[in-house]
Structure 1
Amino acid sequence: MPSETGEGQAPPILDFSAFYGTDSAKKQELVDQVRECCLHNGFFQILGHQVPLELQQKAMNWNKRFFDLPLEEKVKVGKDTNTWNRGYELLRSQILEEGTLPELKEGFYIGDDLPKTHPYFINKKLNSGPNVWPSASALPDVDDFKDTAQEYYNQVVSLAKDILKVLALTLDLEETWFDEFTEGAVATMRLLHYPSQPADSETKLMRGIGAHTDFGTITLLLQDKVSGLQVFDYANDSWLDVAPTPGAFVVNLGNLMMRWSNDRYISNLHRVINNTGEERYSIPVFFSGKPDFMVECLPNCKAEGEEAKYAPITVEQAVVGGYQDSYGRAEKHKKDEAEKKNGGYIAVKAPEVAVA
C-alpha cells in the first residue's frame, strides 16, 4: 500500500523568467529542469512568469465571493442549464477515483467567451460557447467578476502556450513546433471550492478530488493558502504534499501529452484531501488544444522502425472520453444509492483501492 502521508520531495519550483530573458545558458537550464520533471512525474511549479500577482489574487478573491453565494443563486447558473460545460457544478458531481465517494468540491466553469455564431459553437466543439454569470442582483459588481475572470483566463492561456514552447525544446524540437496546435485552442478554467472534510469522514473513501490524471495537454493550477493537493511519487511509493506558494503555478502534463509523447513523458496521479479544518480554494486552467488537431506520436519519441503505442486521435475525442468516464461514475453512484434506499439491492462494503 502506498503511504497516505506526503513524503519525499514535492515538485520543484522553477524560475520561468529565464524563458523571457536573453541568457541562453539559463534558458537551457530551465529546459533541462522541465525535461527532468516531465520524465520523473510530470509535475513542476513555476515562478517568474508574466501573470501578475495582483491579478492572481483578484481572481482568487472572486472565486471565494462566488462560492459564498446562496445555493439557490449558484444553481441558477448551473452547468446543467447548457450543453457546452459552462457554469456552476454542485458538490459531489464527479468521481475521478473508482471506489471512492462522490467528491467534496463544487466548481464554476469558465472558458473563452464565444458567441453562438462562432463555428466552434455551431459545430458543438469541445467545451465551446458563451460563459454564464450570476445576475447583478445576486452578485454586485458582477461585471468586475467577468472582466477579472476573462483577463486571468487569457493570461494563463498565453502562459500555457509559452510552457508548450519550452516543452518543444525539451524534445529537441523547434520552439514553434506546437504553434499550429495552440492556434484556436480550447482551454477550460474551473473555480473550485473544497469544504473541509468532516472529522469523522472515512479518509480512504472521501476525497476533495480523487486520485486521477488530467485529460488534456497541460494544466496550470493556482492554489490559495490552504493545502490539500498531493502528487503520487512512484519512486518512493508515497503521496507528496504540494504546499501552496504565493504566486506560483503548479504545472502538470495531462493524458494527451503523455499519449503524444508515446509515454515518454508522464501524466501523473494527483488528488486533493482537505482535512485542514479550513475552506480550500483553487483555480485550474486545463489547456486542451485545437479540437480537430490530430495527435500522433511526436518526433523523437520513438526509435527508428518502432511502432507508435497509440493510434492518431483528435484533441476533442481524447478529452471528451475522460469527461464521460468521471461524470458517469458519479451518476452511477447516485443511481445505486437511490436503488439502495428503495430496497433495490443489498449493500456491500466498497473495496479499499490502492492507488499506485
Structure 2
Amino acid sequence: MAPSLLANLDSAQEITKFVINEGHGVKGLADMGIQTLPKQFIQPPRERIATSKLASQLFIPVIDMSNSNEQKVVDMMVDAAQMWGFFQIINHGIPTEVFENVKSATQRFFELPAEEKRKYLKEYSASNCVRFGTSFTPHEEKAFEWKDYLSLFYVSEDEAAALWPPACRDEALEFLRMSESVIRRLLEALMKGLNVKEIDREKELMLMGSKRINLNYYPICPNPELTIGVGRHSDVSTLTILLQDHIGGLYVRKQDDDTWIHVPPIPGALVINIGDALQIMSNGRYKSVEHRVVANESKNRVSVPIFVNPRPNDVIGPLQEVLDSGEKPMYKKVLYSDYVKHFFRKAHDGKETVEFAKI
C-alpha cells in the first residue's frame, strides 16, 4: 500500500481512502516520509497565515490564579474575557505530572497501528462519544486540515472505562477530574463580571453540564506554509481549557483586526478561551474570538483541549442578570444541540456560526 501511494500522490481518491477511510490519518502520510504536501491539503491563500499579518509585539494576558478570589484577579479575568477572549493561567493547582501524563498518553494513542485507531472511526466506533478522525469535516471541506484527533465526550466513569481507548483513557480522565475545580473558579469569576451573584445548580449545569476532551496530533508537515493545522474558528463551548506542549503554533485573531497573535507555550500554564455559548449568555460582553493552528515542518505537536459546554438539551440565550440592566438582547434563545449541529455540519469558517444565534 505505501509504495503505491507514494507513487500516486496525485490520486485524490487514493489519499482520501488511506488518510480518512482507513484511519492512517495525516500521521500515516508523515510517517511515510512524503516530501511534498498532497494537493488535497493545500489551503486557499486566504486560509493561510501570512507573515505580514503576525503581531510580534502583542501577547494575550497571563493571569496568576494563586488567589483567584481576590478582586484584582477577578477583574483581570473579566477584562481578558472582554478584550481578548483568550488568556493563560498559571499557579492554577493542577500538578505538572498530570499534564505530562496526558501528553504522553496522546503520543501513545497516535503511535498505535492504524488498525487499532480505525476501531474508533465514526463508521466503527462503539459509541458516538468516542471518535477518531482527521481534519474537521472532511466531506465538507475544500481542503483538509493537517491534524488527527481523538474526541472523547464524557458521559460517566463507567462508560469511559468501557469505551475509551486504554492507551489514553486513565490520563485523559485524570486531566478532566483535576480541571474541575479550575473550571469552577474561572466561571465564578466570570459570572461576577455579569452580575451573577451565585451560581445555583441549574446555572452550573447550563454552564458546565457537559464536557469533551480532545487529544490532538499535528505531525511534521512537508510544506507547512501551504496548509493549516486547524482552520480559523471560534469554539462552541462555554469555556475551552487548553494544554499546549512546548512547541506552540496556536494563533489568536485580534478583535476588530486581521492581525494574528501567537500564544507562546508557558511551562505549567493552561490557555483559556471564551466560547460562543458564553458570548451568547453574556450578550456579547465576553468575546469568543477566531483562532487557528499552524503546521510545523520540523516537529510533531500535541495539544489537549477540554471543552466545557452546556448540556445538549439546554436552551441558551442572554442571561437575565445581564438584561436586568436594560440591555437589549443581541441573541435569540437557541437549543444548544441545534447550535452545535450547525457548527459541525460545515467546514471551519471563522465566526460564522455565532450569526446563527443573532437576532
Give the TM-score normalised by the residue count of structure 1.
Answer: 0.75
The structure-2 alpha-carbon separation of the partners of 1:29 and 1:95, relative to structure 1 and needing over 3 Å to count, comes to: farther
For the 8 Å contact 1:256–1:318, the answer to whether it is kept is no
Aligned pair count?
A: 299
User: Does 1:271 find its partner at 2:275?
Assistant: no
1:285 alignment partner, SS class: strand
Look up the match of 1:102. Answer: 144
For the 8 Å contact 1:94–1:326, the answer to whether it is kept is yes
C-alpha deviation, 1:17, in angstroms: 1.8
The structure-2 alpha-carbon separation of the partners of 1:235 and 1:298, relative to structure 1 and needing over 3 Å to count, comes to: same
**Residues of 2 paired with 1:64 and 1:260: CA distance?**
36
The one-letter amino acid paired with 1:188 is R
**Residues of 2 paired with 1:102 and 1:324: CA distance?**
15
For the 8 Å contact 1:181–1:293, the answer to whether it is kept is no
**Residues of 2 paired with 1:220 and 1:189: CA distance?**
9
Look up the match of 2:228. Answer: 207
The one of 12, 18, 21 aligned to 2:61: 12
* Aligned sequence identity (%): 29
The one of 155, 159, 170 aligned to 2:193: 170
Look up the match of 1:181. Answer: 204
**Residues of 1 paired with 2:199 and 2:123: CA distance?**
38
**Residues of 2 paired with 1:220 and 1:161: CA distance?**
12
For the 8 Å contact 2:253–2:259, the answer to whether it is kept is yes
C-alpha deviation, 1:131, in angstroms: 6.1
The one-letter amino acid paired with 2:60 is P
**Residues of 2 paired with 1:262 and 1:48: CA distance?**
30
Look up the match of 1:247. Answer: 268
C-alpha deviation, 1:324, in angstroms: 2.2
Look up the match of 2:163. Answer: 132
**Residues of 2 paired with 1:164 and 1:263: CA distance?**
16
User: Does 1:155 find its partner at 2:178?
Assistant: yes
The structure-2 alpha-carbon separation of the partners of 1:129 and 1:73, relative to structure 1 and needing over 3 Å to count, comes to: closer
The one of 249, 266, 269 aligned to 1:228: 249
C-alpha deviation, 1:263, in angstroms: 1.3
For the 8 Å contact 1:165–1:177, the answer to whether it is kept is no
The one of 325, 329, 340 aligned to 2:346: 325
The one-letter amino acid paired with 1:148 is E
User: Does 1:76 find its partner at 2:112?
Assistant: no
For the 8 Å contact 1:110–1:131, the answer to whether it is kept is no
The one-letter amino acid paired with 2:234 is T
C-alpha deviation, 1:88, in angstroms: 4.3
C-alpha deviation, 1:185, in angstroms: 1.1
The structure-2 alpha-carbon separation of the partners of 1:306 and 1:245, relative to structure 1 and needing over 3 Å to count, comes to: closer
Look up the match of 1:52. Answer: 95
The one of 24, 32, 35 aligned to 2:78: 35
C-alpha deviation, 1:105, in angstroms: 0.5
Look up the match of 2:10. Answer: none
1:214 alignment partner, SS class: coil
Q: Which runs of 5+ in 1 are unaligned?
A: 117-127, 135-141, 330-356
The one of 270, 292, 310 aligned to 1:289: 310
For the 8 Å contact 1:13–1:44, the answer to whether it is kept is yes
**Residues of 1 paired with 2:148 and 2:343: CA distance?**
19
**Residues of 2 paired with 1:325 and 1:84: CA distance?**
22
For the 8 Å contact 1:165–1:178, the answer to whether it is kept is no
C-alpha deviation, 1:41, in angstroms: 2.0
Q: Which has the higher helix share?
A: 2
**Residues of 2 paired with 1:53 and 1:85: CA distance?**
31
C-alpha deviation, 1:149, in angstroms: 1.7
C-alpha deviation, 1:322, in angstroms: 1.3
The structure-2 alpha-carbon separation of the partners of 1:131 and 1:9, relative to structure 1 and needing over 3 Å to count, comes to: farther
RMSD: 2.9
The structure-2 alpha-carbon separation of the partners of 1:130 and 1:84, relative to structure 1 and needing over 3 Å to count, comes to: farther
